[in-house]
Amino acid sequence: MRIRTIRRFSQWGIPLFLVMAMAVRAGDPDQGDRAQFENLIDRIERIQTTPGGVPELNRRLNSEIDRAEQDLQKLDEDLESVKQRFNRIAQSNRRPETDHWAYIPPVSPAIPPTKFEERVRNPIDSFVFKRLEEEGLEPSPEASKETLIRRVHLDLTGLPPTLSELTAFLEDESPDAYDKLVDRLLDSPHYGERRAQFWLDLARCADSCGYHVDANRPMWPYREWMIDAYNRDLPFNQFTIEQIAGDLLPHPSEDQIIATGFNRNTMFNEEGGIDPEEFRVKAVVDRVGTTGTIWMGTTMACAQCHDHKYDPISQKEFFELYAFYNTSSELGGGTFASRAPMIRLFEEDQEGRAGDLAQQIEKLQKTLDTHTPQLSAEQNAWERTMKRGIAWEPIEIDSGESEGGADLDLKRDGSWVASGVAPVTDIYRLKGSWRGSGISAIRLEVLPTSSGKGPNRVGRHEEGQPALSAIRLLTGPLEGASDTTPTALLFPTWNTPGQQPKQVVDSNPRSGWIFDATDLEVYEAWFEVPDNAFYPGGTRFTIELDQRAGMNSTIGRFRLTLTGAPKPVRLPPSEIQEIIEREKGYPKDGPNPPKRKVKLAALTPADSKERGRTHEEEEKISKYFRTIAASLEPIRRELEETTNQREALLNEVPQALVMGEQETPRMTFVHTRGDFLRPGEEVKPDIPSIFGNFPSDLPRNRLGLAQWLVSPENPLVSRVTVNRIWQQIFGRGIVETSEDFGMRGSPPSHPELLDWLAAELMDNDWSTRHIHRLIVMSATYRQQRRFDAASVAADPENQLLWSWPRRRLEAEAIRDSVLVASGELDRRLGGVSVPPEREEQHLRRTVYLFQQRSSMPSVMEMFDGPSAIASCSRRTVSTVALQPLYMLNSQFMERRASALADKVQETAGSDTTRQITTAFEHTLCRPPDTAELKMAAKLLGDNSVDPHQQLTQLCLALMNLNEFVYIP
């Protein structure tokens, strides 16, 4: 390598290590790729010597030549450093040693003495101040009461103090005023809401399934359980067990089962045509990775396809952990019904009512299933009717008209043919009379015709398909003045096999019974007529064929006939028809009366052998008849009503996605290169060998895994948990990489403090609230924010906490703070996630907003809210132009500022100084200083602007200050 080239790189500010890395082969740091590097040198020299080509480059070359000379003097040391680093990289594929600090169980260390003993409030300060002392740094003074109340309110509840809470704290002169404040906030129900915000990130919880469809799903019961668990300070070991395996506990409660929704937060694919197993495997892999992130601070996902490159976890060990979750009973995709297992969350008397209705349904069904002499006689009569066949007679129709202007002509075979104008949608209206005793059913046949654009078509157009959306019957007495009252919508009771008009002939113009325009077959359906539709002295009627659901075509030819046969007028389903047709030799292409008759033999056991029916076939026919028997109609109607009542009740009962086990556990195999379609070695549930042997007294299922995680033998869970609490309070964990305690993770800034907190958590019944109280009561937490040049030089990132590490609020807390300031926050607890279309969304806490993976609430998108696609241990913090634009111009912010202005005017009246002071206290929890008061007064003193608008602008400006969106 040429010295002058190294010199140029140094002059340009490029680290010497990177220069050497470009020149050194990965396998041997003493050799370089000479040809490639010489080419790079020549290109750089040409750029450097081009007149005016890179003036900035030339300026830097001239101004930094001295610094380059100094760098060259250190060349030997730097080259040696490069060699050492490359040697470490080359050795990184070797298994890490088992003495990595994170894999050694924590032991509570002795509390160190410190020269800042007078500042110490609890052991946390001893560890922090001792480290500051070692680095020659000093802690900062305690913050003001105004700062502390805002800080601790935001940290423990996610909400700023109200003006009354601020006033009460400032007026409390007792020495334990701060202690009482902390205890009040820890007992507040909003404490659980704040803690849940962080756990929702970890649990990748959202109210939608993800993937392309991203349909809604009920995950809010899990969120409710979580908030309640924090508010009752559920020990973290139990908190862990219930979420991973609450359903496997002896006699689990409903809450413990709901807790298993944690593992149902995985995405669920409802797209058509997918392989559900593929997405079930994805969900199980996600559960293993999420368990590793949350409880073990380990990047498990790296070992899905191969042995972990850095941490002591092999691919086989990954799938041994996978085996714990591989026995769950849910599918990976499909329809809503495929999301099982789910449980219903009954309230008060709902479960009792549902049980009573179920008993009624069972009783009615038993009555329907009971054989009686009356029912047998009725069945025999029905069979005789079926033997004779149904006689369909032509309808006496006086006129036929088309609402769309087509001509309807009656043919000799009784069919009607449409000609002339051919609208794409239409209503055919046929008027006539009937002098018989009554009509029980009408038959509609849609026939091929050559009257359209092409021969033998059902439709009248070359393109498109006709469809029938409704058939209506309007009747009146023959001698009456008016011809059509009342109106009856007819529903089909039988249709051509393969067609389903009963599902679509419902008067909905957006759906209909669609006919294939080029089909040569006859479409046929029977429609029963209401008993009161015809009159003894004769009936005048109108039949309407509504074709507004047509797909750019209308019916070209049809025929209507009727019958007065006893009800029910219908044929058995195809399964029953097959039995009949097999016995009598009739073809299976459906009936075509009156040219042929359909026969049924009497259902009597005496001649069943003679007829050749089996007992099973007799039961099928008898069961079918009970669904149409006239004598059972009241019972069927009551059964339907009772069933509908129960279904309506159950639809009101919310459901929750939970975990469940298969009766026969799945076998688990290592997936070759991570491909579930390439199973390798079979494995059983187990833990990585770095943690020793799985306890023999624990079951090898999810419950055993959860119990092992929170056992004293596990060195990670307590450390990872207290580190995450520390991160939530100070913005940075004692281990900065809170998701990775492995070989590639950051080392702890205060290792003894981390172990002391971990031991403190376990020794105090795994109480996370106890840890929170210790932290916020410490002098370390109560420090003021200050700038000190010497401290910044020694610790530029404030990792040692010589000052309060001011940090920006999360998206949820920013939005909630705005609502508190405006006095509009709806503080109701719990409930179903509020969907975007509801007006109340603007006032509920953000934790209760509907979280859709593909479309998060605006404030979440603006301020780095995670998408819940994967577990999030640390949020990114970005500063982009969209954030101030949202805070200044969004409708949400404008309305909140206006509401705050209303409140200020109501409190302070027209006194400008009082208005400004009140606005500052509501937003920043402090009065304005002299300069701020002067600037605000100038803004409010503009007589050309409406006073309320001026005050609104002031409130909006205060909500946009860094002081408002940062924890002070």
Instruction: Give residue 761's pLDDT.
Output: 98
Q: Which amino acid makes up residue 933?
A: L
Which element (helix H / strand E) includes 441? strand 441-446
* Span 897-915, pLDDT tens digits: 999 999 999 999 989 999 9
Q: What is the mean pLDDT of the chain?
A: 84
Token digits of residue 818:
């705005």
Among the residue ranges 293-302, 340-349, 602-611, 656-665, the one predicted with the least confidence is 602-611
Instruction: Give residue 392's pLDDT.
Output: 84
Buried b (16+ CB within 10 A) or exposed e, 179-210: eebbeebbebebbbbbbbbbbbbbbbbbbbbb
Q: What is the radius of gyration, based on Cα positions, of the chain?
A: 40
Instruction: Give residue 77's pLDDT.
Output: 60
Higher-scoring residue by pLDDT: 608, 656 = 656
Using pLDDT thresholds of 50, 70 and 90, give the confidence band for residue 312.
very high
550 pLDDT higher than 90: no
The answer to whether 523 and 467 are in contact (CB under 8 A) is no
123 pLDDT higher than 90: yes
Domains in the chain: boundaries = 3-90, 117-190+768-807, 235-345+660-714, 347-390+565-653, 392-564, 891-967
Residue 926 to residue 928: CA distance in whole angstroms: 7
Among the residue ranges 110-114, 445-449, 489-493, 630-634, the one predicted with the least confidence is 489-493
Tell if the pTM clears 0.85, that is, is over it.
no
Mean pLDDT of 544-560: 83
Query: Residue 376's CB: how many other CB atoms inside 10 A?
Result: 15
600 pLDDT higher than 50: no
Residue linked to tokens 């056992």: 711
Among the residue ranges 146-155, 251-260, 477-486, the one predicted with the least confidence is 477-486
The answer to whether 517 and 466 are in contact (CB under 8 A) is yes
604 pLDDT higher than 60: no
Which element (helix H / strand E) includes 279? helix 276-291
Mean pLDDT of 305-331: 94
Mean pLDDT of 193-200: 97
> ∠ CA 52-53-57 to the nearest 5 degrees?
95
Using pLDDT thresholds of 50, 70 and 90, give the confidence band for residue 538.
confident
Q: Which of the given ranges, 273-277, 648-652, 752-756, has the highest pLDDT on average?
A: 752-756
The answer to whether 209 and 849 are in contact (CB under 8 A) is no
Domain 392-564 falls under CATH 2.60.120: yes
- The crossing angle, in degrees rounded to 10, of helices 930-940 and 912-924 is 120
Residue 849 to residue 826: CA distance in whole angstroms: 12
* Span 616-627, pLDDT tens digits: 777 877 888 888
Q: Which amino acid makes up residue 417?
A: V
Query: Residue 681, SS3?
Result: strand
Instruction: Give residue 372's pLDDT.
Output: 86
DSSP 8-state class, residue 780: T
935 pLDDT higher than 90: yes
* Span 699-750, pLDDT tens digits: 999 999 999 999 998 999 999 999 999 999 999 999 999 999 999 999 999 9
Residue 236 to residue 191: CA distance in whole angstroms: 16
